[in-house]
Homo-oligomer: A and B are copies of this chain.
C-alpha cells in the first residue's frame, strides 16, 4: 500500500516534470504527447494510465505551478520586523523568485492566455492572487496601525503592490535589458514604499 502509493506519486511527478519541460519549450499546443512520453522515459500507455488526457496534465501542472509559487509568499508572513521591513523582504524575495523561475515564466503566460477561455484556470490563478493579496494586505494593515503608512485601503494597496511585481516580471520576460536587475535594483520597491509611507513634515 505504501510503496505502491510512493510509486504512483513518483510516476506522476515524473510525468509532470517531463510535461513542464516540454510545455515550457513548445507551449501547450505545439507540444505533443509523444514529446512528453519521450521526455519522461515512460511509454504512452503509462502516461495515459496516470492521466486521462492532455488537458488533465495541463491542469495538474497548473496546480503544482501555482502551489509552488505560493510557498515563498506564504512563508514570509512570519518574518520579523516592522511593516516596512517586511515589505522590503517580501519584494526582494519576489524579485529573486522571478529570476529563479526564469525558464518557467513562459509557462505562466501560457496559463494566462488559457485563463481567458478556461474558467478552471482562471479560478486557480485568481485564488493564487487572492491569497497573495491577503498576506500583503495584512502587512500593510500593520503598517497603518503602527503609523508607519498613510491611511489607505490595505487591500487596494496590496493589489497595487502585486501589480508592480507582476508588471515587472512581465517587462523582464519581454525585455530583460530594459529591466536589468542589478541596475534597477529595488527602485520600484522604494517608489512604492515612499508612496505609502507617512511623510515627516
Identity of the chain B residue whose Cβ is nearest the Cβ of A125 in the assembled complex: B174
Once the chains bind, are B112 and A113 in contact (CB under 8 Å)? yes
Chain B residues near A26 (CB, 8 Å)? Answer: 117
Asked if A85 is at the interface (CB within 8 A of a chain B CB), the reply is no
Once the chains bind, are A160 and B187 in contact (CB under 8 Å)? yes
Asked if A173 is at the interface (CB within 8 A of a chain B CB), the reply is yes
Asked if A195 is at the interface (CB within 8 A of a chain B CB), the reply is yes
Asked if A4 is at the interface (CB within 8 A of a chain B CB), the reply is no
How many copies the complex holds: the figure is 2
Asked if A1 is at the interface (CB within 8 A of a chain B CB), the reply is no
Once the chains bind, are A188 and B163 in contact (CB under 8 Å)? yes
**Complex interface bits, A116-132 against B, C-beta within 8 A gives 1, otherwise 0:** 11000010011001100
Q: Which of A14-22, A45-53, A55-63, A177-185 contacts B (4 or more CB under 8 A)?
A: A177-185
Once the chains bind, are B109 and A175 in contact (CB under 8 Å)? no
Residues of A within 8 A of B (CB): 25-30, 105-106, 109-110, 112-117, 122, 125-126, 129-130, 133, 152-153, 156-157, 159-160, 162-168, 170-171, 173-175, 178-179, 183-184, 187-188, 190-196, 199-201
